[in-house]
A and B are shown apart, each in its own frame.
Chain A
């Protein structure tokens, strides 16, 4: 096993990896930007190196600086996490050339899958169906317009270098194409430094189902089943489940085999995810893309398979064979994950940076929290606003939903606005509970939500008013001269007023 590794990431995923390091007795080296010097991932690391100013392109994306840091601290290997440089073949190559181990697939595999067009080509060659669309990047708006006409609307515009829904637009009719094309190009350029787009026929009411695969350097590639990630907003996943509510063993086998084929086609090593679009109507599935890294949502697979995917990544990266075969993999119960973002659901999910003044995370049976923050953490404007992941496990999907409701109710965050309130509504939504999901869920849910008139609880709002008034009164007392007396009298009084009639 490694002696020391550098984690080229921040936030909850850096902490997730630090935890496995601790469990394996590997020293964990964090990197951080100047804005992150006091971040939890730095505080939890054994060592930490500052790699530059706040802006990611001057710190977390600086290949040379990061590789140099790893050499400087004598790390054996680098784990990229997800996002940032996780899917940069250039980075993987630089790490290899520096004589260090990159905990991930080969740069070659990353390059093939890194461009969606070449990835689609690879899938076709491996005999896996893809969504009808262009295999080459679009030359121009005119090209886009012509192609769209050919396939017929609705169509999807996607960034060739893309991921995370950035540079992605659904276009319902020709009139929307130009502005969508421009925005998508702009976003793609900003996010990936590459504005090229491609176009796909839009599958209607599609489920986003992905397969977790794992390969080793001894030629075996296996799958750990599916994750349902249909609940997305702005083409970003917000709730993921394992297994899919469909929970169909045959489908799991078919999609698993297709994913393994694609993995084999690129001699895939380590953890990877093959994303499919599944049509609820035709029950056909199409290859979408492959993510050549650990996924944000890996915990649901860990909860249901009982396997530590990061631990397995380490193992494979040291050249050992996988610790399990396809036959060894089994699935117990049901897991659901919610991504907790510092965003305001009441304001179009706009980011809500700030200082976390109070934090109580849920715990107890069947609850797992992977958090990147603690009390008094600053959520800065510079990075992805996800502050934590809440994952729950239950024997059945219903039990998991019961747990999720309970855990969301326990979750307390003050100082910033989060998506917790949004999730609390989702988990009581009939369509969610029924499990009939597709990528349009959030749009429909938001409409239901808007139409529903909010019945406020009079007692609750009155208590809120009283609490505010108390807080006001306290302040008056404190600013008044005789404060301390009154304050302490109040405190003492409060302490004494214990006995309640029973």
Chain B
């Protein structure tokens, strides 16, 4: 389910929001690790998505040649 609803683009936007928050310095240190965790989680999902897409495409290309 999670995968299906995961949007690379939305994730990137959320990550950038978090980054902006961290960068601004307004962020409570108590929330910092939570946010970082969230960001890292999103990044991982993005990477995973990229990898899976790449694999898919590779298999498509394999068919083509």
Q: Do A and B bind each other?
A: no
- A contact set with B: CB distance below 8 Å: none
